[in-house]
Chains A and B, each alone.
Chain A
Amino acid sequence: MGAYNKQGQLIRVVQAAREKAADSRKKEEQGGGRQQQFASNDNDNLDAKKDVEIPPETARDHAPFPMNRTFISQPVLTSALQHHIWRQIIHEGKSVREVSAEVNVEMSRVAAVVRLLEIEHEWKRIGKPLAQRYHDAVQGMLPKTDWAAPEWDAEHGEFAKREKPNHESINDLPVHAATGQQIFLPTSESRHFTRADAAKVFDKRLLPADDRVPHPELTVMHKEVLEGLSEEERRERAEARNAVAERKRAAALALQAAKEAAIKKVDTGRWEYRFTEIKVDDAGKDGRGLGATGWRYGAPLMDRSRGQHKIPRAV
């Protein structure tokens, strides 16, 4: 709405037309020998408008509510960028974090794109009609962030380096409920008070801000740049970090798989019965050990007593 005037014309087109008309008039005056007079300004504008290209959008064009200038319509991802993200995750097997850092799109949005495209593919597979025209019309009206496909540079024999699409800020620190309070903490001047200390002041279990951001690895990389490390050293370190992370992930997966494999599953048609092996000896000599399986004998159960909360109050 903010992009149009009362006559329903795009303001930036009208403006461009007016500027162009003024330019041409100036030229003609300079050239001299002009006899014809303009009938009206409006006609002139309309004539000029036809051969004016639509100028690029500005911030004003992204304000759909003229009375609310602070509301800016945010750009959406084009289909090309969405498919690029989907391909990176599904076919190239990259992690959401990697892809997010690569295309400058928030991790939650990357995950949403992959989910939505999976649904789209499923619909195509089962032959459900897609509202393609509606999609195109809406995409045509919204500001967009596009993905520029890498182009082969024959001169250098490699893909030309393109600028990353800058969709949104991806490394914003999420606001944790524990950091909502204002705390005045007296400390000695000599103390080296870091972010880790600040986090501990807010809450004992709160991680420092450097670890709570969505992409802590970007912070580390930037720190290394500031330290003045060479590109090779930085790459080596990044690879080492990736290798450690990969090893941890593989170990966690293996552990999970081993646990899963230890469970015996019996399918009875309606339910699946899962048999987990335990050890009777875990109950200890008196049968009341902490590791014991089953409901305990001779121990009071406090779940119905006063002051017991069954619903967790903090997660």
Chain B
Amino acid sequence: MVVKIRLARFGRRKAPFYNIVVAQARTARNSKPIEVLGTYDPIPKPPTDGEGKPFKDIRLDSARAKYWLGVGAQPSDPAWRLLSMAGLLEPKYRSTGGK
């Protein structure tokens, strides 16, 4: 069975909140995972000091994430995006738009 690093959607209607989890690929989305690596809050918050860009909060145990990647856990696309931003993986897709 494949072990995946993926997001589990929690939160409420129109207020998503994700756990970044390590789970067996075939288990249900919100079932109890092998491990919770962190969280991802996709709702941008206004900058705390009133300057700069709105930010999205991510909490991650990068050491454990590295371990799971090392033993062959396969990140889903959204998880890959977050882990590559954290510097743990090569980015899968490059953004074409923007700057």
- The reply to whether B64 and A280 form a contact with Cβ atoms under 8 Å apart is yes
Cβ of A272: which chain B residues have Cβ within 8 Å of it?
47, 52-56
> Are A293 and B55 in contact, CB atoms less than 8 angstroms apart?
no
Closest approach, in angstroms, between the C-beta of A299 and any C-beta of chain B?
11
**Interface of B with A (CB < 8 Å)?**
8, 10-11, 17, 19-20, 32-33, 35-39, 44, 47, 52-62, 64, 82, 85-87, 95, 98-99
Judging by beta carbons under 8 Å apart, are A271 and B55 in contact?
Answer: yes
Contact call B99/A266, Cβ cutoff below 8 A: no
With A269-B99, A276-B58 already in contact, 10 other A-B pairs whose C-beta atoms are closer than 8 Å? A267-B53, A275-B58, A275-B85, A276-B57, A276-B59, A278-B60, A280-B64, A294-B19, A297-B33, A298-B32
Residues of B within 8 A of A271 (CB): 44, 53-56
User: B99–A293 contact, CB under 8 A?
Assistant: no
| Contact, CB under 8 Å: A293 / B36 | yes
Q: Please give, as numbers and ranges, the residues of chain B lying within 8 Å of A297 by CB-CB distance.
A: 32-33
Decide if A273 touches B19 in the complex (CB within 8 Å): no
A interface residue count range (under 10 / 10 to 19 / 20 to 34 / 35 or more): 20 to 34
Say yes or no for A264: interface residue by CB 8 A criterion: yes
* Chain A to chain B contacts (Cβ below 8 Å), 19 pairs: A264-B87, A268-B98, A269-B95, A271-B44, A271-B53, A271-B55, A273-B58, A273-B82, A273-B85, A274-B57, A275-B62, A276-B59, A277-B59, A277-B61, A279-B61, A280-B37, A294-B38, A294-B59, A297-B33
Note all chain A residues with C-beta closer than 8 A to B98. 268-270
Of the candidates B39, B82, B86, B87, which one forms a contact with A294 in the assembled complex, judged by CB atoms under 8 Å apart?
B39
A122 CB to nearest B CB, Å = 14
Interchain CB contact under 8 A, B60 and A277: yes
Known: A269-B98, A293-B36. A276 touches B60 (CB 8 A): yes
Report B65 CB to chain A, min CB distance, Å. Answer: 9
Instruction: Write the A273-305 contact mask toward B (1 if CB under 8 angstroms, else 0).
Output: 111111110010001000011110110000000
Across the A-B interface, the 7 shortest Cβ-Cβ residue pairs: A295-B10, A294-B19, A272-B55, A269-B98, A294-B36, A272-B53, A280-B61
- Cα distance, A293 to B64, chains bound together (Å): 13
Nearest to B65 among chain A residues (CB) is A280
